[in-house]
Amino acid sequence: MQEETTQKTIALAIKTSKLTASVLQKAMKMYLEHQKHKQPSHGKIPVKKLVGQGEGAKSIEVTDSNIKSFERVARKYNVDFAVKKDKTMEPPKYLVFFKGKDADVIAQAFKEFVKVNEKKQQRPSLRQKLKGLQKIVAQNKNRERSREKNKDRGQSL
């Protein structure tokens, strides 16, 4: 898995009559120049990089261990954030750092995060549903068996 994250592959399409080293070098330079001017991606970044952007960082404390769902919501709102786990407390708490100018957007993202988590907690788990269905199937099998026994008794008399 680490190999997947450390290596990247790019596909470069070039129209040329003769592929030489200089043509390939020019194409790679054009690609790298294009990557420099590309819009920066938003989402989870290290705390050091977030603080280094010089826009002032604020933090919010989160006690929920399901921090991954917050990451999805924050990416949806195009917010740069950093998550740090505070291991000194039991249960561990998470500190979510973000830029000071993104405070309103983060507040909205947290509202959506809380709403999604509440919705998940209210619905029954899949295991509970399966147990209920197993009981129903078992009851139906018992009824079928008792009906067959009653039929057999009626025919033997």
Would you say residue 66 has pLDDT above 60?
yes
The length of the chain is: 157
Q: Are 61 and 84 in contact (CB under 8 A)?
A: no
Q: What mean pLDDT is predicted for residues 5-14? A: 74
Q: Peptide bond preceding 91: is omega within 30 degrees of 0, i.e. cis?
A: yes
What band does 65 get if pLDDT is binned at 50, 70 and 90?
low
Does the structure show a pLDDT above 70 at 73? Answer: yes
